[in-house]
Structure 1
Amino acid sequence: MLADYHMHTNFSDDSTCEMEDEIKKAIALGLDEICFTEHVDYGVKTDLNCNYYEYRKEFNRCKERYKDKITLKFGIEFGMQLHTIDEFQKDFNENNFDFVILSCHQVDNKEFWTQDFQRGKTQKEYNEKYYEEILKVIKRYDDYSVLGHLDMIRRYDMKGIYPFENIKDIVTEILRHIILRGKGIEINTSSFRYKLDDLTPSRDILKLYRELGGTIITIGSDTHKEEDIGYKILEVREELKKLGFKQFCTFEKMKAIFHDL
């Protein structure tokens, strides 16, 4: 089973790829299953969010057309903040998703990639506040499958890598909570495209997740253009084996399906 579980098309504001073109590329690469996870980010990019009606319409058309060649799953990426939970809950209740990535893209309506969130804070302050926001959200919201790119703040930390030991306690609390609730984490292969010196999330986080009893892991390329599809997924599977994991997951109707690595 070869699956890519984090893919964006032109239904996301930061991609111009047609869904059908991505499907054709995935088939050509030999993928068995892909899950589209279009962006929704209330509070910052509300006017640019995915149009659910058009997204589902195109998804259903493609699912029928390519049903004998590849399995397609209907997913979403919720870029959630504490004050936007109610809007996302409404979206979840109105859509029959197979899979939901819960991500933290902003805090207090301030983006990471622009440095708006980090500006005026010490490295300790913005790193800890990032994880605190995730913990607060998951204690109030439960309709998701995995946490996306859990240590994403590392990607945009201009001051270098913040020591894992400094965030270990709160990351442990996050991981214990999601394990107890039957949720998982994703490995996001964009770490290779961003030329990071570690996986996303880091090997330290992945080791801790396994030690705490975590088993639900998806692998996604975070595709925004055709050349991203399936990127480094086979390599990440080998990394998981080295870390002691035996299986990875796909999803259907919000239920995890386990596959041997």
Structure 2
Amino acid sequence: METKFSHYRLWDTHMHSQFSGDSEAPQEEMISSAIEKGLAGICFTDHLDIDYPEEPDIFLLDLPNYTSSVLAYQEKYAAKLPVRLGIELGLQPHLAALYTDILSQYPFDFVIGSSHVVHGLDPYYAAFYEKRTEKAAYREYFESILENIESYHDFDVYGHLDYVVRYGPTSNENYDWREYQDVIDEILRKLISLGKGIELNTGGFKYGLGHPNPTEEIIRRYRELGGEIITIGADAHKPEHVAFDFAKVPSILKDAGFDYFTVFRERKPEFVRIE
């Protein structure tokens, strides 16, 4: 029997498992969920956030065991589902050299660079907003992305570009990306000039924003400026959230001007036409 998503043949290339400090999901259950939902392939991208505030060990990924686990499942499920090895790096400028060294040691297919910590604080927590207005906090978040890119760009896509609006005091109720368009355009142009992509992260729907991260308008703006690389991920931390709201993905991409999406293998982009 054809599943809900099978005719789209999409990949979910942003997901977490028990190796991430904020997930308890067994990798095999994530794989089973992807198969059940008819996905064409997946990529695990567990968190590595070095020098995370207050809980410095929570996102220290056990790289040897994580890598061996993914590669073992890659072999086990080779006939059923492509399983690729990725990582989500929590970027901070002072970590650039360390991340360069780490990436040289493991055979990653895909690297997401993300901003989780801004000047020593994670916008996930209320403390980030205590000494800033919500708009100032959002602007500082976007400006920190530029700081990260200037310091380090050995990643393939920048993750959930407007992550901050998931957690602000009023979330995205008063959020209009055009108020920050000067810095967002600069981010997008910089990424494009470096040959980097962005992702369509459907976690925004899971968090009740009514939009992906980043918003449809930012995805469209990336395309207008000449961006070509767009990956898809649900940011799932549980099996039931794999491919969350992926039925919306094809129309979002096509409305933004994309006829395809991107997956990575051995750090090289592969372009898959949307059916």
| TM-score between both structures, scaled by the size of structure 2 | 0.91
Deviation (angstroms), 1:129: 1.2
Q: Could you tell me which residue of structure 2 aligns to residue 86 of structure 1?
A: 97
Q: Percent identity?
A: 38
- 3-state SS of 1:117 partner: helix
> Is this contact kept in 2: 1:17–1:226, CA < 8 A?
yes
Q: Which moves more between the two structures, 154-163 or 106-115?
A: 154-163
TM-aligned CA deviation for residue 60 of structure 1: 1.6
1:17 to 11, 25, 31: 25
Find the residue that maps to 2:128 and give its secondary structure.
coil
RMSD: 1.3
Structure 1 stretches lacking a partner, 5+ long: none
Report SS of the residue matched to 1:111.
Answer: coil
1:122 is displaced (CA, Å) by 1.8
Instruction: Give the SS at the match of 2:200.
Output: strand
- Write out per-residue CA displacement over residues 196-241 of structure 1, whole angstroms, 9 at most, x where no aligned residue: 0322101221121111011110010101001001111231122111
Secondary structure at the counterpart of residue 7 of structure 1: coil
Tell me: CA distance 1:234–1:39, structure 2 relative to 1, closer, same or farther (3 Å): same
**Is the CA contact 1:189–1:231 (under 8 Å) kept in the aligned structure 2?**
yes
Find out whether 1:198 has 2:211 as its counterpart. yes
Question: Which deviates more, 99-108 or 193-202?
Answer: 193-202
Q: Once the 2 structures are TM-superposed, how far is the Cα of residue 82 of structure 1 from its aligned partner?
A: 1.8
Secondary structure in 2 matching 1:259: strand
Question: Aligned partners of 1:24, 1:197: CA distance in 2, in Å?
Answer: 27
2:119 matched to which residue of 1?
Answer: 108
Partner of 2:177: 164
Question: Whole-Å Cα distance in 2 between the matches of residues 103 and 131 of structure 1?
Answer: 11
In structure 1, C-alpha distance between the alignment counterparts of 2:37 and 2:190, rounded to whole Å: 36
Aligned residue in 1 for 2:3: none
Work out whether residues 123 and 162 of structure 1, in 8 Å CA contact, stay in contact via their aligned partners in 2.
no
Structure 2: gaps of 5 or more residues: 1-8
Instruction: Tell me how many residue pairs correspond in the alignment.
Output: 261
Partner residue, 2:6: none
**Residue equivalent to 1:234:** 247
Give the match for residue 74 of structure 2.
63
Question: Letter of the aligned partner of 2:93 in structure 1?
Answer: L
* Counterpart position of 1:184: 197
Q: Structure 1, residues 144-196: CA drift from partner, whole Å, max 9, x if none?
A: 01010001111112144333222101111110011111100001111111110
Q: Which amino acid aligns with 1:157?
A: G
User: SS of 2:263's equivalent?
Assistant: strand
**Structure 1 residue 119 corresponds to structure 2 residue 115:** no
> How much does 1:11 deviate?
0.3
Map Cα deviations across residues 59-113 of structure 1 (whole Å, 9 max, x no partner). Answer: 1211111111110110000011122223222211222211011110111221111
Mapped partners of 2:24, 2:105: distance in 1: 26
| Alignment correspondent of 1:137 | 148
Q: CA deviation at 1:125?
A: 2.1
Match in the other structure for 2:57: 47
Partners of 1:148 and 1:89 lie apart in 2 by 18
Cα distance in 2 for partners of 1:199, 1:161 equals 16
Q: Identify if the C-alpha distance between structure 1 residues 126 and 145 changes in structure 2 by more than 3 Å, giving closer, same or farther.
A: same
Matched residue type, 1:133? S
Write the distance in 2 (CA, Å) between the matches of 1:71 and 1:197.
Answer: 30
Worse-matched range after superposition: 68-77 or 117-126: 117-126
Indicate the residue corresponding to 2:11 in structure 1: 3
Amino acid at match of 1:181: L
- The aligned counterpart of 1:223 is 236
Q: Say whether residues 1:248 and 2:261 are aligned partners.
A: yes
1-side partners of 2:38 and 2:210: how far apart? 28
Q: Which amino acid aligns with 2:251?
A: E
Offset of residue 46 of structure 1: 3.7
Structure 1 residue 127: Cα displacement: 1.4
